[in-house]
Amino acid sequence: MDFAKITGFISIVIAVYCVVPYVQAILRHKTKPHQLSWLVSAVMNGIAFFSQYFSGGRQSTFISFIFFVGSLIILLLSLKYGVRDTSKWDRLLFGFAVLTIIVWFATRRNDLAIWLSLLIDLFATSMIALKVRADPSSEAPYPWMLATVAYSFSLLSLAGKPLDILYVRPTYGLFCNAVLTISIYYFGYKAQRNLGVEADTEVSESAYTIASKPSEIKENLRETENI
C-alpha cells in the first residue's frame, strides 16, 4: 500500500470518528447545531464530493463523502435539537449560499463547483461562528479539531500529484476548521473572563454597600434578631 492510500485511509477514519462525538454532544445537549448552516453544509459537501470525484480525485474525495453523510445526519438531528436565527446575518448568509448553489447548477462545471463549494462553506461556517460568538457553549471544539487533522491527512494523500484544483478543497477545509476550533476556545475563554469580571464587580459593590452604610445594616440586623 503506497503513501497516498495510507494517508487517505487515515483521513477517512478520523473523518468518521469526528462525526461520532459531535452527534453524541448533540444528543447530550452539549452542542446546538445551527439548522441553516448544516442544511447548506449538506448540500455543499455533496457538491464538493461529486465535483472532486468527476475531476479525477479518488482517495482525497472520500473525506468529502464522509462529511456529506455526516452533515445529513446532523441536519436531521438539528431539526429537533438545533437552533436557528442566532444572528441578524443568518438569513442573509443563507440567501448568499442558496444563490451560489443556483449558480453551480446553472453552470454544471466540476472545476467551478469546487471553488463555489468554498464560497458556500464560508457562508455556512460564518453562521456557526456567529452562533459561537453569541453562545460559546453551543459548540464542542473536539470534533472540529479532529476535522482539521482529517483534512491534513487528506492533503497528504495528494502528495506526489501535480499542484492543481484537487488541493483546493482539503486546504480550505484544514484552514476553516482550524479557525473555527480556535474561535470556540477564544470566545469560550472570553465568556469565562467576562463572568469573572461580573462576579468581582458584584463582590466590590457589596463590599462598598457594607462600608458606606454600616448603620443601616446594623439596624436591619437588629430588626431581624427581634423577629
Same domain for 219 and 187: no
pLDDT at 218: 52
Strands (E), 52-199: none
pLDDT at 32: 87
pLDDT at 77: 94
Same domain for 208 and 187: no
**61 Ramachandran zone, left/alpha/beta (phi>0; psi -120 to 50):** alpha
Same domain for 177 and 88: yes
Domain encompassing residue 21: 3-192
pLDDT at 16: 85
- CB 143, CB 18: distance < 8 Å: yes
What does the chain come to in residues?
A: 227
Cα separation of 120 and 198, whole Å? 39
Same domain for 112 and 40: yes
Identify which of 150, 99, 160, 89 has the alpha carbon closest to the alpha carbon of residue 125. 89
Same domain for 22 and 108: yes
Identify which of 214, 218, 209 has the alpha carbon closest to the alpha carbon of residue 226. 218
Cα separation of 42 and 75, whole Å? 7
Q: If you write DSSP's letter for every residue of 29-90 in order, what string do you get?
A: TS---BHHHHHHHHHHHHHHHHHHHHTT--GGGHHHHHHHHHHHHHHHHHHHH-B---STTH
Count of domains observed in the chain: 2
Same domain for 119 and 51: yes
Same domain for 161 and 94: yes
Same domain for 200 and 150: no
Same domain for 138 and 56: yes
Same domain for 94 and 23: yes
Same domain for 187 and 201: no
Same domain for 209 and 188: no
pLDDT at 76: 94
Under-50 pLDDT residues of the chain? 207
